[in-house]
Structure 1
Amino acid sequence: MWNLPPKTLLALILAGIAAPAYAADPAEKPFLAENAAAMGKMMDGMAPKPSGDVDKDFVAMMVPHHQGAIDMAQAELRHGHNEQLRRIAQEIIVEQQQEIAAMRLALGQPLPPSVASPDQAAATTMHKDH
């Protein structure tokens, strides 16, 4: 059922994230699985090899942290129903993307190409069809 490295799975269980998936309503399992994957990816990314440059290391740890928040917010948009929480999730995506860009710019790092999130692309397609 779980296809995560043991270290990541243990971290998620200890954090109380993975445990609810075992007892969850079947309809909630895709959301919980996406969040567990986002948390695992985030936790792994937040442990880079030190470079000897505090600023560079800070950004190297913070970018996966912010990306994890983006990934979790996208899962809320895909599966959530509460309109207030969906708006908050949209704000999280925008704010976290801006912070990632600001940190990379502060170090003179290139920015990734600007692309719509999967949910934004799907919403654009839906609106064009109607």
Structure 2
Amino acid sequence: MTLNELAQEYLASRLTSILDEHAITGFFVEATTEYAGWAQLQSLVDSANPVIDGQCVITLSEWAVIKPLAYLLCEKETALMHELSKMMSHEPAGRSSSEIENDITNFRNEYFRQWAFNYPCASI
């Protein structure tokens, strides 16, 4: 599936969303780019022009590792928008952006190291 298709799927699975498809795709691209720093994307192995954008194809196993960070990035942006709406007497519900940022930091520090990074074995 492409990142654009995954963004459409994300929007379709929500009752409401403050974020538009373009913003969600941007967060999915950001998470995929970070994943690519730890592991090689299958669709870019033999590609002459390895670009990660909305048209980038990722496998289900890659998405299983990328998805939590992508969703956390979307959740953080939504929380920031809710917090900004306090000026209009709106009381935000859910987690704060700082709580989500802590989860993102933990995810980046631990999860990718455990699940995305691999190095081929070599014998001497």
Report which of the two has the higher share of helix. 1
User: TM-score scaled by structure 2?
Assistant: 0.42
User: TM-score scaled by structure 1?
Assistant: 0.41
